[in-house]
Amino acid sequence: MDCLFCKICAKTIDSDIVYEDEKVIAFLDINPVNPGHVLVLPKIHVEHLVDLSDEDILPVMKVVKKIMKALMSQSDVEGINILQNNYSAAGQVVPHVHFHVIPRKQGDGHRHWPGTAYQEGESAIMAERIKSAL
């Protein structure tokens, strides 16, 4: 398989692993937003979150929480971002489901994307579209 993260799971590519069990692996991002930025992913190859089974997502989310707690125990961490991108249009670079657990502190210079208010009636239409798809 030509997936970078599958190669890390198989230990054919070195990484700084911070957690591993039968189903999940977590390692330091090689281009961290802040020091301690960890990627958490299932060991099975699944490209997008929507394709990950309910059974397989639970162990991943438990590890995300565990990593978050470990990072929050560090004296210089004041907050955590949990980020998960799907498809290239949303910024997914490696086509293997993964969660970014990013330690944050006040004034670290990183900002969220800007929001834009809905036009009159637009939010109700969008809410209905989402509800009908559920």
CATH of the domain at 102: 3.30.428.10
Residue carrying the six token digits 């490696």: 94
Q: Which residue has the tokens 């799971």?
A: 9
Number of structural domains, the chain? 1
For residue 98, indicate whether it is catalytic.
yes
Query: Which domain does 123 fall in, by range?
Result: 4-133
Q: How far apart are CA 4 and CA 51, in angstroms?
A: 19
> For the whole model, what pTM was predicted?
0.91
The pLDDT tens digits for 38-87 are 999 999 999 999 999 999 999 999 999 999 999 999 888 999 999 999 99
The DSSP code for 19 is: E
Q: How far apart are the first and last CA of the chain?
A: 34
Average pLDDT score, the chain: 94
- Say whether pLDDT at 1 is over 80: no
Which member of 45, 48, 96, 98 is catalytic?
A: 98
Beta strands of the chain (E only): which ranges?
Answer: 17-20, 24-28, 38-42, 79-83, 99-104
